[in-house]
Amino acid sequence: MSEYVWEPNDELVSNSNVQRLMNRLGVDTPSELRERAAAEQEVFWRTVTEDLGIRFERPYETLRDTSRGKPWTDWFVGGTLNITDNCLGRHLGTGHETQPCLVGLTETGERTEYTFATLAEEVDRCAAALQRAGIERGDRVASFMPMVTEVVVQMLATLEIGAIFIPIFSGYAASALAERLNGAQVKLLFTADGTSRRGKPVSIASTAHAALEQCDSVHTVVVVARAGLELELTEGRDTTWIDFLASGSGGTATVFVDSMDPALILFTSGTTGRPKGTVHSHAGTMVQLAKEVGYAFDMKPEDRFFWLTDIGWMMGPWEIIGGLYFGATVTLYEGAIDYPESDQLWRVLADERITVFGVSPTAIRMLMRQGEADVSRHDLSSLRILGSTGEPWDEESWHWYFEHVGGRRCPVINISGGTDIIGCFLSPLPIDPLKPCSLVGPGLGMVIDVWNDDGESVRGEVGYLVATEPAPSMTRGLWQDPERYLEAYWTPWPEVWNHGDWALIDDDGQWFLQGRADDTLKVAGRRIGPAELEGALIETGKVTEAATIGVPHPIKGTGIVCFAVLKPGNDESPELLAELEQAIVDRLGKIDRPESIIIVDDLPKTRSAKILRRLVRDKYLGEPIGDVSSLQNPEALDGIPLAEGSSSK
């Protein structure tokens, strides 16, 4: 495995939030902290809530109750609180309320800014308007919106009155939106007329209206004018954002709810089967997000926090709630990251003096194609911590991010978890030495391991990532589907959470993510994660992106086919294909020699820049593609050829 390439300096360590926690717990090293956090759950979680100052209106009496079994663990029993009170209320009357807390940016140069005081005022108006519209505690409110400041107001207002907020990716087709609205029996929907993408208006409200033809639970629709498109309002149901806020003049009081009351329903992508509605509580969400943003990303009031994400992805609420809790300035961005110029993302970082920045590995691979000049022409000296999540890194891309974006000054806090825990199972700390691509170890308080098929703990080989103890932010089940929840997460081992990821722990105890277990290829009886093959291609320096799929093979059971996007300056040739094939053999062995390597111009990605191998495989094998509304570049599928003998369906 790789050598360590980053060490924290004494100043970072002594001033870090996590060092303060270590002092409270009386431990000396990050590894001791992880061990103590896992071994003494009661002590750890109580200390975290005290150290971070989580605001409970009524203190909890019991930390956790597993009497119904681990899948149904209750946390912070007897306590009452509200996420919005923790994000906004705690800053009012402190002298901090006049500080900027939220910035919204667009690709066309528009900039919107809120202070804590102005954001709290608008949230109160929206909350009162929700109540006047008949929304009560426990009702579901959905937001089918681009990543703009209005969605923050909508989320915090919904939570303030004890209703449940459901963020939905604004690129979904009508059928996908309708499925989510019906699944949660949503009563009120926020949407926008549209958004701007590469300078062109893209309608959103028209999709919402089409979806509502398939829904009977939604009685109120609120439309935000964003893109200058004509508003078509259905009388008696639809209203504009401006008129809706006006109906909430006078504000409302915060509704404090029980610790385990639902705050968010986050739907998974639904790449296989119908989407799963994961349910997240006020206490579990607030404590987990504050713990991760506070200790792993060392968030402080003076920080300016920007994660390249969408509100429909878990990282949207994660960034907003985590950043606002610490009094930092949260930045949102609406639009393409390379428009109107290829250096747009780096311009945003420089102009806003971002200090903590997060992005997916695939987004970095996309931007690497433009070269280093786009980055170097901007002053990124304000950055102090880099983040990443969403998929495994390859070393070349990790080094590019570390060296050219962070100037080798900033640790790369590479985290991994998921929508279903609205947080991280694996996470470095800013005071950890780092190897390229490493996740270092368990997130604080996460009791996890790597197991083989027999449920045995393994080291030095790829296995299943499992949690042997529950955590506060684990989904409270799947919305109105308890049996599917148990099947999805608590099998095949009773009382053990199977996360569905492959992981590996090396000889130094460093943890590495190896991709989704359901993406795993079984070649001649041997399992291998696609990320290993893709990494071998990218590390040649001639490939910027890659996707590996398994196809039927008469002898091996599964054959390997790789799709690659070449770095500019490299042309497809028999010699190049042979070189790429040999790179895989050299790294993984002859058994993993691909059946073919196919050069393409692009690969299909979500708006969060995750490559969808499933769609690549379906297109290549001529299988039904299904809904592609979550893709940022559906045209990429046109470049995937059909396998010989396949026919388009």
pLDDT at 366: 84
Instruction: Please choose, from the candidates 528, 517, 521, the residue with its C-alpha nearest in 3D space to the C-alpha of residue 272.
Output: 517
CB 150 within 8 A of CB 224: yes
Model confidence at 649, pLDDT cuts 50, 70, 90, reads low
Instruction: Please choose, from the candidates 475, 480, 484, the residue with its C-alpha nearest in 3D space to the C-alpha of residue 418.
Output: 475
- State yes or no: pLDDT of 81 exceeds 80: yes
Alpha helices in 40-82 (DSSP H): 41-52
Bridge partners (DSSP) of residue 550 are 560
Instruction: Please choose, from the candidates 77, 274, 82, the residue with its C-alpha nearest in 3D space to the C-alpha of residue 179.
Output: 274
3-class secondary-structure state, position 468: coil
Average pLDDT, the chain: 92
pLDDT at 520: 67
Cis, peptide link before residue 492, omega less than 30° from 0: yes
Bridge partners (DSSP) of residue 511 are 440, 505
Axis crossing angle, helix 282-291 with helix 41-52, rounded to the nearest 10:
80
Determine whether 593 is exposed, middle or buried from the number of CB atoms within 10 Å of its CB (0-12, 13-18, 19+).
Answer: middle
Could you tell me how far CA 72 lies from the centroid of its own chain? 24
Left, alpha or beta for 572 (phi > 0: left; psi -120 to 50: alpha)? beta
Model confidence at 5, pLDDT cuts 50, 70, 90, reads very high
- The three-point CA angle 83-89-90 to 5° equals 95
What is the C-alpha to C-alpha distance for residues 537 and 416, in angstroms, rounded to an integer?
Answer: 23
Strand ranges (DSSP E) for 134-199? Answer: 140-145, 164-169, 188-192, 194-197
Q: What are phi and psi of 78, to 5 degrees?
A: 95, -10
pLDDT at 269: 57
In order, the DSSP letters of 579-643 are HHHHHHHHHH-GGG--SEEEE-S---BBTT--B-HHHHHHHHHT------TTBS-GGGGGGSPPP
- Residue 623: count of CB within 10 angstroms of its CB: 14
Strand-by-strand arrangement of the 100-106 sheet: 111-115, 100-106, 329-334, 304-307, 356-359, 385-388, 412-414
CB 139 within 8 A of CB 164: yes
Higher pLDDT: 554 or 461? It is 461
What is the C-alpha to C-alpha distance for residues 81 and 161, in angstroms, rounded to an integer?
Answer: 12
Domains of the chain in sequence order: 520-639 (3.30.300.30)
- Residue 150 structure tokens: 């209005």
| Model pLDDT for residues 154-207, shown as the tens digit of each residue | 999 999 999 999 999 888 878 889 989 999 999 999 999 999 888 899 999 999
Alpha-carbon dihedral angle through residues 153, 627, 210, 148, given to the nearest 10 degrees:
20
pTM of the model: 0.85
CB 542 within 8 A of CB 548: no
pLDDT at 270: 44
CB 62 within 8 A of CB 78: yes
For residue 641, the one-letter residue type is: P
- Residue 10 structure tokens: 């004494």
3-class secondary-structure state, position 517: helix
| Model pLDDT for residues 303-319, shown as the tens digit of each residue | 999 999 999 889 999 99
pLDDT at 555: 67
Radius of gyration, alpha carbons of the chain? 24
CB 431 within 8 A of CB 16: yes
Q: Locate tokens 């506070």: which residue?
A: 294
301 Cβ partners below 8 Å, 6+ apart? 96, 99, 326, 327, 328
| Model pLDDT for residues 16-66, shown as the tens digit of each residue | 999 999 999 999 999 999 999 999 999 999 999 999 999 999 999 999 999
| Model pLDDT for residues 283-297, shown as the tens digit of each residue | 999 999 999 999 999
What is the C-alpha to C-alpha distance for residues 313 and 419, in angstroms, rounded to an integer?
Answer: 8
Model confidence at 266, pLDDT cuts 50, 70, 90, reads very high
Give the C-alpha distances (Å, rounded to integers) separating 20 from 291, 384, 433, 490, 502: 13, 19, 18, 35, 33
Model confidence at 530, pLDDT cuts 50, 70, 90, reads confident
What is the C-alpha to C-alpha distance for residues 132 and 311, in angstroms, rounded to an integer?
Answer: 25
Question: H or E element: which one contains 208?
Answer: helix 205-212
